[in-house]
Amino acid sequence: MRASRFAASYGARVAVAESGRFGGTCVNVGCIPKKLFAYAAHFREDFEVAKSFGWRLGEPAFDWPTLLANKDREVARLNGVYEAALTRAGARILRGRARVLDPHTVEVNGERHSARHILVATGSWPRLPDISGSELAITSNDAFHLARLPRRALVVGGGYIALEFASIFNGLGVQTTLAYRGARLLRGFDAELGERIAAEMRGKGVNIRLQANLAKLERGIRVTYEDGPTQEVDLVMFATGRKPNTAGLGLEAAGVQLAADGAVVVDAYAKSSVDSIHAIGDVTNRLNLTPVATAEGMALAKTLFRGEPTAIDHANVPTAVFCDPNVAAVGLSEERARERFGKVDIYKTAFRALKHTLGGRAERTFMKLVVDAATQRVLGAHMIGPDAGEVIQGIAIAVKLGATKAHFDATLGIHPTAAEEFVTMREKAT
């Protein structure tokens, strides 16, 4: 989308081949519908908290078909917005699945099209583990279209998608288990975030099983774990990874080098091993986030059609996990910072947010700063709590600019907010 629009604005003749709905994973089976579901799941807790502020409500009742219908309507609206934006930009839309025949030829619906440049931006696809009965499970793609909510659900995985859907199911009243093969959740994030979010999610009712590997699924659905225990559930959802969507595109025959997982191998300017073929986004399996993909698209358009070779800086990219409570981070984890910089200073705080003081809820907000001891530059900022993504987005500007701890200390906070804690932490953690 972004690459096509910007390329067209720079004077390129652009055609876009699309066999499905516009907007990719994010709009159709990712960020947008997932966050709508996350909003829905959080209302149950909001209704409970409202009582402590004097509101008297009837017994809340949730209707899954209503949420599905409204979600589908919004997704369809966005599909139309994106298609219209391409059309206005002057791009030609080719409805069908494309196949690359050679470095300058693409076939769509039996018709051949020649191009000076070919861009592969086909994203990724959820994968199921190779265990007996895996066909009985669903992936995140299917979760957006369930005919009915299960009574008992098992979500398998320990990353973004697993935590988000475990929170969604739990918030909507589903008896939810989250099983992960690792020792802590959110591998790749700061270790303390993984440990603390597990505690918070358990406190909200999610049954979390760590170092748990599934051995098989049987109709019913009966789940057997490798260490022996069994579990009866109504739905199993695997969120155990995604694979670059390159199968059947003809890339290898055209000379494009693919990694072992099928990802297109590219240089800093998104060029593949074939000079005329480029790739961006999840299909390259670098940093699989929507804003990264769109930035790569803009950079490629500048590189090819504006004479401005532009590479995307993948460092200090902020990210959020929309589980309950939210997790967000920018920069280096404590572990990675120690590996790269040696001595670091750690500042952190954990507290019960003002909103929960009247209702007596146990949820705690957590914040952490990782600082280079030598230069005092803030290397990473990490948070668990309501709207963590909104808070970290602002903090990310400071981290990207190389702000020091003194800059944070000199910034006045907005009181009373949770975010102000990022500029009021003074004591180093021991």
Active site residues: 415
d(CA 12, CA 94): 16
Q: Is the separation of the CB atoms in 249 and 263 below 8 Å? A: no
Give the chain's end-to-end CA distance (angstroms, integer): 48
Chain centroid to CA 239: how far?
Answer: 12
d(CA 318, CA 329): 6
| Nearest residue to 268 (alpha-carbon basis) of 252, 287, 251 | 287
Q: Which two tokens stand for residue 247?
A: 């199968």
Q: Which two tokens stand for residue 152?
A: 């008992």
Q: Provide the 10 A C-beta neighbour count for residue 200.
A: 21
| Nearest residue to 194 (alpha-carbon basis) of 395, 335, 1 | 335
Strand intervals (E) in 60-219: 92-95, 98-102, 105-108, 111-114, 118-120, 124-126, 152-156, 175-180, 207-210, 214-218
**Which one-letter DSSP state was computed for residue 222?**
E
